[in-house]
Amino acid sequence: MTQIIKRDFDVVDLDNIGNCSIKQRDRNDRHYEDDRTNKYVDQCAVCFKGIKSYDNAYTTIGDGHPLSLTRLSQHHIVEKSGGYMGCYYLGPECGNKAKKLLKEKGLDWKDWLGHRTNNKELTQNKEEKI
């Protein structure tokens, strides 16, 4: 069940979008690592698929896990916590699943997921990678 956990900052656990099997994740990871054409800019932290463009990727601020989402506006508090794991990229499939779950729970996904439409840092990272 998805619920907001109150600590010094808010956390939503979305572990039910990570329904990719270990075998599939391994296959996706090998495909990403074996890419010789450099068609991927990054890798999804959930399913390990390659991300072809930052334009359709999402970011999360992880609290120990990429699917323990913290509210983007509270990043300055999260960074000082023991579980802070930095930012994770979610590919379009996993990002859309997370977005859908957040909406179903009555939460504004833009408070929890970074995307090119609401996050300047994601656009800046895109330019640095090129």
Residue 95 or 8, more confident: 95
Summarised one tens digit per residue, pLDDT across range 76-111 is 777 777 777 778 899 999 999 999 989 988 999 999
Query: Which element (helix H / strand E) includes 95?
Result: helix 92-104
Strands 58-63 and 50-51: unpaired
Query: What's the confidence (pLDDT) of residue 7?
Result: 62
Residue 57 pLDDT exceeds 70: yes
Residue 129 or 83, more confident: 83
**Least confidently predicted of 4-8, 10-14, 49-53, 124-128:** 124-128
Residue pair 17/72 in contact (Cβ under 8 Å)? The answer is no
Residue 116 to residue 130: CA distance in whole angstroms: 16
pLDDT confidence bin for 67, thresholds 50/70/90: confident
- For residue 115, the SS3 value is strand
Q: Which of 98, 120, 110 is nearest to 73 (CA)?
A: 110
For 38-64, give the DSSP string.
---SEE-TTT-PEES-GGG-EEEEEES
Strand segments, DSSP code E, in the chain are 4-6, 10-13, 42-43, 50-51, 58-63, 68-70, 84-90, 114-115
Residue pair 32/40 in contact (Cβ under 8 Å)? The answer is yes
